[in-house]
Structure 1
Amino acid sequence: MMRAIIVDDEELSVKRLTRILRESGKIATCRAFLNPHEAYEYSRANAVDIAFLDISMPEIDGMKLSVLLQELDEEILLVFVTGYDSYAVQAFEVNALDYLLKPVTAQRVAKALNKAGKRSGRAAGAAASALEIKLFDGFQMYGNGDGSSRDPIKLRSPKTAELFAFLVCQRTASREEIIDTLWSGLTPEKAWKNLNSTLYYIRKALDDAKIGSGIISGKNEIRIEGSALDCDLYEFERLLAEMRKAPERCLVLIERVKELYAGPLLKGKNYEWADEYARRLEKEFAEALEYAAKHCSKQGDSVQALHYYRGILELDALREDIVLEVIRTYIQLGRTNEALRQYRKLEEQLKQELGLRPNPQIQAVMASIGLRG
């Protein structure tokens, strides 16, 4: 599913193309702009996979806008839309994916989207691993050893799955550490035997799926070769590190971070060794959301700031500091009824769970505008 923008100063053309794209089943999000300046600013803060650009527009035409967009992200696919076929040669000189004549048809748009899928598929395939591991919101493994399908991989037993999950999370671990964590109640001899046999069954399951395990087993330690797999945890941590290094890109990166964090690490697995790790990741995710929210507030985008603040409250509904920011933002937007509902919700939860009332700072904000009655 792709994220698309449409930029065209003709409102009827925008509505028609928007409808076609949304009905195609291949577009996850579609934002339309009559003003190319607004489209550019949106693309600075949000990831875009494909851009449908009218060529003839005042101030910034489609050609100029295409250059600006690819300066932001050279992977953005460009499709030019115009009523004049005389622009075709010029369009393809800037490496356009396709060129559509108005009025566009669903069949012609479908052809362009098929091209986009093939091009993005080739790019993804060049870097994709045959083994995909999902650790957020549970534990799933998928393989496409022959490159033609994405099939779930089942491991022999719960302990086999736990060992592999442990190795993926730790990346490198000594044999003693693994035994102390997973087989602490066994004699040393039996524990070592269990470790070796469990490793064997992991390798066998992946070999049966025509996938290399990426497990490198030495005399004293065992490690996972990260490049041999595609893991949501690894990508999540990489993006958080990138946000810290390049805070100006936080609004682009945070959306992908949100997609990856589908739920707590290894949710439902009851692995004691993972509890502290899961709490740390949730804390780092909340910090990233808060940073993005404050960044939006500084830019005057209070609605988007609310979106990120609410994401934090989904993790911890009793974060009074975040509830305070949500209430203040609602009041700033003139949505006082929603500010009151947020306050009442916090008030009820605190009373039921802790026997407390909202802190004085929140009460003072509500009282200052007469919303506590």
Structure 2
Amino acid sequence: MRAILVDDESLALMDLQRQLGKIGGIEIVGMFQNAEDALGKIGDIKPDVAFLDIEMPEISGLEAAERFHKLDDGIEIVFVTAYEDYAIKAFELAALDYVLKPINSDRLIRTVERLKRRASIPTGEAEEEAPAATVSCFQRLNIEYGKGEPFSWRTVRAQELFAYMVYKRNQPVRKDILLELLWPNSDYKKAYTQLYTTVYQIRKSLESAGLSIRLTNSGSDYYLDLGDNRCDVHDWENDRLSLPELTPDTAEEHMRWLRAYKGDYLSENNYSWAENERQRLRDMWYNHAIEVEEMRKVSGYPKESLELYGLMETWFPYTEEVYFLAMKYYAANGDAGAAKLKYDQLCSMLEEEYGIQPSITVRQWRDSL
């Protein structure tokens, strides 16, 4: 395994070189006392791992790690530093390990063993074995990835942060926005620590599940790359754009799209930031359902609307218009009894939920039966 060592202290570089030489299995292909020189040589020497000091002048080890990954995201990073305070930030940057100075030889041996285990996994095989996953956002957040056990979230905050990044998929999201969203009442330093810890938890959970979903860091932003994995809500919305023009002959295709709606967006998770998206998707479904209902009515296919009314009542159980449409359907098909029963159900719902009666339009229609 090819390694570079970067530390502004020459004695520290020599000590690390000596200890790695005793352990074996690591070929040191470059030693640098500043990160700028190391960055300039990456393309030529192509290391597998970079051992980086953190406290360095001009370019810190943390910044250097970010820039190394932009040049080659396959480079493993091991931080070697005298300061424990950087540990969470280091893991947030997806470092493989974090070794404290003065370096303990047994601790360094464990780091080298981790590097060897990582290197023994062929990249191509790992990618082929990564299961295709579907991120489900209908009703509640879940990741379906072909295994019997459900995907495990380490904390509630990790689950919510991932949900928000899925919502903002393929867009950079500033860290300060995430701090305000998830830790609005924490002091700045503590909130940042919680953010870095939560990002690390998400990455470890995705890695443990063998998924190819990537949550990446670029300075002040985070970015979620779903890769070839899917999001059910996103697919459902895209399918709407590919539907043919609504006609009596294509109505069944439109009904299949309406049936594919599996519940309100993240409704069980009850995230306040998701409310606008939840309402937007509900409106999209409802407005299209009304279009399908109107087309069938004017085209002389009213009987096919019964299933649609059932779906509308399932997803909009507290909407007067849904009951009224069903009432008019039953009356048009000669079943006044069913129409009156639906009216009674409407009265009960409005009284229980809102303490009101049906609108005067609906009452007058009922009296005219």
Task: Say whether the fold is shared (TM-score over 0.5).
Answer: yes
Residues in 1 aligned to 2:335 and 2:159: alpha-carbon distance in whole angstroms: 49
Paired residue secondary structure (2:216): strand
- Could you list the runs of 4 or more consecutive aligned residues of structure 1 that deviate by over 6 angstroms after TM superposition? none
Q: Could you say which residue in structure 1 is the equivalent of 2:290?
A: 290
For 1:240 and 1:182, how far apart are their aligned partners in 2?
A: 32
Task: Choose which of 154, 160, 163 in structure 1 pairs with 2:161.
Answer: 163
Deviations 1:119-171 (A, max 9, x none): xxxxxxx9x97122111121211224xxxx56532121111111111100122
Q: What are the residue-to-residue correspondences of 1:282-321 with 2, within 5 Å?
A: 282-321=282-321
8 Å Cα contact 1:141/1:154 also seen in 2 = no
CA deviation string 1:81-111 (max 9, x = no partner): xxxxxxxxxxxxxxxxxxxxxxxxxxxxxxx
- Alpha carbons of structure 1 residues 334 and 231: separation in structure 2 relative to 1, 3 Å: same
1:256 maps to a residue whose letter is W
Pairwise mapping of residues 51-62 of structure 1 onto structure 2 (< 5 A)? none
The amino acid of 1:202's aligned partner reads I
Q: Which residue of 1 aligns with 2:274?
A: 274
- The answer for the alignment partner of 1:215 in structure 2 is 215
Q: Distance in 2 between matches of 1:208 and 1:271?
A: 26
Q: Secondary structure at the match of 1:152?
A: coil
Q: Does 1:191 align with 2:162?
A: no
CA distance in 2 between counterparts of 1:359 and 1:310 reads: 22
Distance 1:246 1:199, change over 3 A: farther
2: CA distance between counterparts of 1:209 and 1:242? 33
What is the RMSD computed on CA atoms of the aligned residues? Answer: 2.5
1:215-246 CA distances to partner (integer Å, 9 max, x unpaired)?
A: 23211222222443211111122123345x74
Cα deviation, residue 307, structure 1:
1.9
Q: Which amino acid aligns with 1:255?
A: R
1:321 Cα shift?
2.7
Structure with greater Cα Rg: 2
Alpha-carbon distance in 1 for matches of 2:210, 2:355: 57
1:139 to 141, 148, 151: 141
Write the deviation string for residues 312-347 of structure 1: whole angstroms up to 9, x where unpaired: 222333423332221111111111111010111112
Q: Distance in 2 between matches of 1:239 and 1:159?
A: 31
Tell me the distance in 1 between the aligned counterparts of 2:160 and 2:309.
Answer: 34
Aligned match of 2:180? 180
CA spacing shift, 1:184–1:345, aligned 2, 3 Å: same
Could you say which residue in structure 1 is the equivalent of 2:347?
347
In the aligned structure 1, how far is the partner of 2:226 from the partner of 2:160?
18
Instruction: Give the aligned residue type for 2:257.
Output: R
- The unaligned stretches of length 5 or more in structure 1 are 1-125
**1:233 maps to which residue?**
233
- The alpha-carbon deviation at position 214 of structure 1 amounts to 2.9
**1:336 maps onto 2:307 in alignment:** no
Q: Which amino acid aligns with 1:358?
A: P
Sort the Cα spacing of 1:217 and 1:303 in 2 relative to 1 into closer, same or farther, 3 A.
farther
- Give the distance between the partners of 2:141 and 2:310, measured in 1 at CA: 26
How many residue pairs get aligned? The number is 237
- CA 1:352–1:159: 2 relative to 1, 3 Å: closer
Contact 2:240 2:257 in 1 (8 A): no
Determine the C-alpha separation between the residues in 2 that align with 1:353 and 1:152. Answer: 35
* Distance in 2 of aligned mates of 1:226 and 1:251: 31
Partner Cα distance (2:198, 2:181) in 1 = 14
Counterpart CA distance in 2 for 1:339 and 1:266 is 34
Match of 2:256 in 1: 255
Separation in structure 2 between the aligned mates of residue 150 and residue 352 of structure 1, nearest angstrom: 41
Rounded to whole Å, the distance in 1 between the matches of 2:269 and 2:168 is: 16
Q: Which runs of 5+ in 2 are unaligned?
A: 1-127
Q: Alpha-carbon deviation of 1:208?
A: 1.6
Deviation at 1:286, TM superposition (A): 1.7
**More moved, 325-334 vs 263-272:** 263-272
Larger mean Cα displacement after TM superposition, 274-283 or 200-209: 274-283
Letter in 2 for 1:230: R
* Contact 1:142 1:150 (C-alpha < 8 Å) held by counterparts: no
d(CA) in 2 for partners of 1:247, 1:191: 50
> Once the 2 structures are TM-superposed, how far is the Cα of residue 297 of structure 1 from its aligned partner?
2.0
Tell me how far apart the structure 2 counterparts of residues 289 and 227 of structure 1 sit (CA, whole Å). 32
3-state SS, counterpart of residue 284 of structure 2: helix
Any residues of structure 2 matched to 1:116-135 within 5 Å, and which?
Answer: 130-135=132-137
For residues 250 and 166 of structure 1, what CA distance do their matches in structure 2 show? 34
Instruction: For residue 156 of structure 1, give the secondary structure of its aligned residue in structure 2.
Output: coil
The one-letter code matched in structure 2 to 1:164 is F
Offset, 1:298: 2.8
